[in-house]
Chain A
Amino acid sequence: MLRFIARRLVVGLGILLISSFIMYMLTDFSMDYLQDLEQSTNPNKAFLIEERIRLLDLNTPAYIRYFKWLGNFVTGDLGTAWTTGTAVTKLLGTAIISTLQLVTAATVLAILLGVAVGIVSALRQYSSFDYIITFLSFLLYSLPSFWVAVLLKEFGAIGFNNFLRDPAMLYSTIGVVAALFGTMWMLAIGGTTQKRATNFALGFGATAAVLVYVQLSDWWSTPNIGPVLLGVASLGIAVGVTVLSTGLKNRRSLFTALSVAALGVILYVPMQWVFYWLNDVMSWWIVIGLGLLSAVVGGAIGALWRGPDWRQSVRTGALTAVPVAAMIFIDRVMQDWGTYNRLPQINHRPIGTIGDRTPNIRGDFWVHTVDNYTHLILPTISLLLISFAAYTRYSRGSMLEVMNQDYIRTARAKGLTERTVVMRHGFRNSLIPLATIVPIDLITLVGGALITERIFSRPGMGQLFIKSLNNNEIEPVMAYLMIIAFLAIVANIIADIIYALLDPRIRITA
């Protein structure tokens, strides 16, 4: 294995070298360094051109400039963008953070939703649900991202901001939305006519109840989760996670999940004090740390319930703890919604369409977090829609492939419950091909959210690339291309390794 990785890395570096040469020559050829000067009417134009040529070393042939650039690059000097004189490392630093924020949220959501929907769609192959999802995913897949983004700006930002000014939904609208949700639940779960009717009624009732509650409690102006909703939702999460991870028959696992949920509700009030106390030092690292801590505590509770299969309880506990903790965090963020809305720069139009933050706002960590989210939401949706479609297709395809295998038939034949067959024998194996797609997809997104970043003017990697290409600055363009190429090589190696680790039938030959 080590030999394989080493060999692939060496070959990868060679490819990177050749690729960098080709890229440098192409980029250099496409750039017109004197464009602005040649059109100028400045009396000392000739002198300026001369100066520019000296600055950028244009009299040297391009391949020699390439080797000079390579020498600097290898020693860690990425150069400067000559129009502004900013160091490329500094430009990249801010750009990468902005891009990562956007890409992580969109990808994580797309994978979770896409895989879930794709698998349900595969389990109900050739049902109306399957047909609707297939059509929807093809439709989303055929949407040009910039077109969606313009629509989102129009309806998502302007429309939603207008709605927030007077957040009242018509009761007929609520009815239609609830009916839609009810229908989706009915089709997704399927079964006999009676079961379908019950599911439709349940889905309709739950959606309508939530919407009416939101309407009556003036939720939009003071959004919150609160201890009561937290309790209800945690109970749902606990039961749901147990059903998927071990089945309700495993009592220890169920009790683990329930005690984790109860602990979450009990900790709700103390956590407000913790957040108050941490206010001055709050940062994303602490948030991530608290999230990890919650997973550890959840796992520990699972271990405390002991029993022969305590590992499953640990898993269930950790899986329950993270979403419950996330809800407490979201609740805390929501508490500053009003403060954020009243800021003079925001003036009750919270959903942002430009940039990744509002310039010059005053406020603590929480206000900045709200600001961050309001700017993230639209670009995330526009990225999400397209990758969601792709993941639905992938996971549906691979789940169908797995469910037609002989070992699924065997598992059914020996009398395993449908949950075990689907979750343990089907679902896990269907993730293998996905695991090879995810790393490559992530890398493409890091460099490839070009269009979304441009439309929402987020100062990310793609924006940096396009701007530099238009400004005829070769150093930032090359730095970007090298990072993308390097990540692509690494992602391919990782994909191969994951594939071999997950599927013992694949052997890596060094």
Chain B
Amino acid sequence: MSNPIESAENAIELKEVEGLSQGQIVRRRFFRHRGAIMGLFMLVSIILLAATSIGWGPIPGWWPLGPADRGTVVNLRGAPTLQIWGGFTLGQHPFGQDELGRDIFARTMKGVQTSLIVMSVVGMVAGFMGIITGSLSGYFRGTVDTLLMRFTDLVITVPVIVIGAVLGKLLGAANPIPLAIALGLVSWTGLARLVRGDFLSLREREFIDAARVAGASHARIIFKHMLPNAIGVIIVNVTLLMSAAILLETALAYLGFGITLPNISLGQMINEYQGAFNTRPWLFWFPGMFIISIALSVNFIGDGLRDAFDPRQRRIPSVRKMRRAEMRAQRAAANTAS
């Protein structure tokens, strides 16, 4: 043994990968990433809270008030009834009320639902477009590649926020889903380029040649052999795309081009109430907090996934762990010597 520290590091690393499938390694690494787990926990809690409290679609929830119900204003100007210090109480309107007596908790939850819908739809549409364009262009090269990449360039020339504004004005008013599809249709370009790059190098590998010689069809090679090898890049980028989509939707709503009344989105709530910052700050704080929480947790999950999928990523073990591994190695050496 040349260097005890290096051998200790190796021992830890070997233990990490011994007898495990790629999926298991990735899962293990992901669950060991503290930030990612916290993000996952936060995101799941927000989804559960938003889905169960005011109900989803026709299914009723446990919260008594709906986002459009008007009630009598309880506190001064409808201040939040939530109390944390001096005895935790939710009260009737934990996040307060607006000037019409509408419950801000219910409205925020509705906005969170919209954001989540937009996030998932953009993720799916952009993921689909990016994977198809990138893999076809990377796999076939030549004319197909040139055409598809010039098409990508065409989409890039149009700033996402601009086409969002135009399309949002066209069809975004009533429903978040068409707007999300439109956003997805313009935000796949980065993913397509990355997938293409991956495919260009993957197609030169031996196992692809082997598959081709064995008579596999193009579709089988692309979907069965190459795509699973590029899945890390894809998942990570789709996650980041999704967190960007939330911010983009809220920004569009803020500019007045996204989701408009009677539908509720978090950005539109902030836009509606930004003038009331001095009189009713809670109208501004709570929707903002939820935007940040969702985007932050998705970003952390993406970071965890990136670390988990990256084979070169090596976590440096803590000093205590190193020392323990070192001692174990020494004891083993002593045992074999005696």
Contact = CB atoms under 8 A, between A and B. Distances in A.
Interface of A: 11-12, 14-16, 18-19, 22-23, 26-27, 29-30, 125-126, 134-135, 138-139, 141-147, 150, 154, 404, 444, 447-448, 450-451, 454, 465-466, 469-470, 481, 484-485, 488-489, 492
A395 to B, nearest CB: 16
B201 interface: no
25 contacts: A19-B158, A26-B163, A30-B167, A30-B169, A135-B35, A138-B296, A138-B299, A138-B300, A138-B303, A141-B295, A142-B243, A142-B292, A142-B296, A146-B251, A146-B254, A147-B284, A147-B292, A150-B277, A444-B159, A447-B162, A451-B251, A451-B255, A481-B158, A485-B157, A488-B159
The CB with the most chain B CB atoms within 10 A, among A18, A150, A484, is that of A150
B337 interface: no
B126 to A, nearest CB: 18
Contacts of B251: 144-146, 450-451
B161 A15 contact: no
Contact of B161 (A29, A30, A448): A448
Dominant secondary structure of chain A at its interface with chain B: helix
Contact of B255 (A135, A154, A444, A454): A454
A454 B158 CA distance: 20
Give me the 5 closest cross-chain CB pairs, A-B, nearest first: A142-B295, A485-B157, A142-B296, A147-B288, A19-B157
Contacts of A126: 315-316
A146 B166 contact: no
The CB with the most chain B CB atoms within 10 A, among A29, A141, A484, is that of A141
A143 B247 CA distance: 8
Given A26-B170, A30-B167, A30-B170, 17 more contacts: A14-B150, A15-B150, A15-B154, A19-B154, A27-B166, A139-B296, A142-B292, A144-B250, A144-B288, A144-B292, A145-B251, A146-B274, A147-B288, A448-B159, A450-B251, A469-B166, A492-B156
Given A138-B299, A146-B254, A451-B254, A154 B158 contact: no
Contacts of B296: 138-139, 142
Nearest to A125: B316
Contacts, number: 111
A15 B166 contact: no
Contacts of B299: 138, 141-142
Given A30-B170, A147-B270, A469-B165, A447 B159 contact: yes
Given A142-B296, A466-B255, A484-B162, A16 B157 contact: yes
B78 interface: no
Interface string B273-302: 010011000001000100110011001100
Contacts of B315: 126
Interface residues of B, number: 41
Contact of B157 (A144, A448, A488): A488
B162 A30 contact: no
A484 B159 contact: yes
A22 B155 CA distance: 10
A451 B274 CA distance: 14
B205 interface: no
B302 to A, nearest CB: 10
A29 B284 CA distance: 34
B267 interface: yes
Nearest to A29: B170
Contacts of A142: 243, 247, 291-292, 295-296, 299
A129 to B, nearest CB: 15
B153 interface: yes
Contacts of A484: 157, 159, 162
Contacts of B267: 144, 146
Contacts of A481: 158, 162
A16 to B, nearest CB: 7
A471 to B, nearest CB: 13
B320 interface: no
Contacts of A30: 166-167, 169-170
B157 A489 contact: yes
A475 B311 CA distance: 52
Contact of B292 (A134, A135, A143, A451): A143
A150 B162 CA distance: 23
Contacts of A144: 247, 250-251, 254, 267, 270, 288, 291-292, 295
Interface string B301-314: 00100000000100
Contacts of A15: 150, 153-154, 157
Contacts of B158: 19, 22-23, 481, 485
A14 B153 CA distance: 11
B188 to A, nearest CB: 16
Contacts of B247: 142, 144
B257 to A, nearest CB: 8
Contacts of A466: 165, 255
B153 A492 contact: yes
Contacts of B277: 150, 154
The CB with the most chain B CB atoms within 10 A, among A19, A125, A444, is that of A19
A40 B150 CA distance: 46
Nearest to B287: A147
A485 B162 CA distance: 11
Contacts of B154: 15, 18-19, 22
A466 B254 CA distance: 12
